Amino acid sequence: MRYFVTGTDTDCGKTFVSSALLHAAQARGSTLGLKPIASGCEVTPEGLRNTDALSLIAQSSVKLDYSQVNPFSFEPAIAPHIAAKHLGIGLSVDAICQHLEALPLSSADLMLVEGAGGWRLPLGGGEFLSQAVKQLSMPVILVVGVKLGCLNHAVLTQEAILADGLTLAGWVANVTDPNMAYLQENLTTLTELMTSPCLGVVPYLPSRNVAAAAGYCDIDALS
């Protein structure tokens, strides 16, 4: 099974939830997490490294070279297409698809490809990352960062995914605001508005403990 993981916005917890899903799936088979595009990378003796990509690697039983997991890495924490333009790097739908199709994807029982930002991440030249997902016909998992405004963001993202002709395989509520008023009422409304299965409700975990978050995820609910 392979899925693309997107989110309602930046910092909604895509990596945290993706890592938790991979952790939860380890008891059932092999896992692989990929992060094709990442900004805000750190300079290391081995080259640019991104904490999100490293988190996915830590929860992957199928081990690949870093460059295979995160082929498009940029040091500035800015929109990837802007960083790519300044470096003269071609960031395109075809480049992303060609990279993913060249990987040993069948070696993992569960593969998660984590996006960057939200569903309509620009690649430049009028292209969007969502077009690569459509070209690869990948079902989508949506991470909803639960905070004020998340209902609108979740519904709009769901509508865009479905309008692109893709399957929304499930969604995860990740509570990012520990002081959100009427939290349960918002979660109930989310459940009513979303058309796919809820794969879990991850409470606010200041420790960011992946194993703890995995306990709130239901892999079996994936459609």
Residue from 35, 63, 85, 134 carrying the catalytic annotation: 35
53 neighbors 115 (Cβ within 8 angstroms): no
Report residue 10: phi and psi, to 5°.
-65, 145
Query: In sequence order, which residues have a C-beta less than 8 Å from that of residue 207 and are 6 or more positions away?
Result: none
- Write the burial class of residue 185 (CB in 10 Å: 0-12 exposed, 13-18 middle, 19+ buried): exposed
Q: Please tell me the distance from the alpha carbon of residue 200 to that of residue 138, in angstroms, as a whole number.
A: 21
Provide the phi-psi class of 215: left if phi over 0, else alpha when psi is between -120 and 50, else beta.
alpha
Given a contact cutoff of 8 angstroms between Cβ atoms, the answer to whether 141 and 199 are in contact is yes
Distance of alpha carbon 100 from alpha carbon 94, whole angstroms:
10
C-alpha span between 218 and 121 (Å, rounded): 27
Residue 35 annotated to the active site: yes
Q: In what order do the strands lie in the sheet with 140-146?
A: 31-34, 110-114, 2-7, 140-146, 168-175, 198-202
Q: At 216, is the secondary structure helix, strand, or coil? A: coil
Residues serving a catalytic function are 35
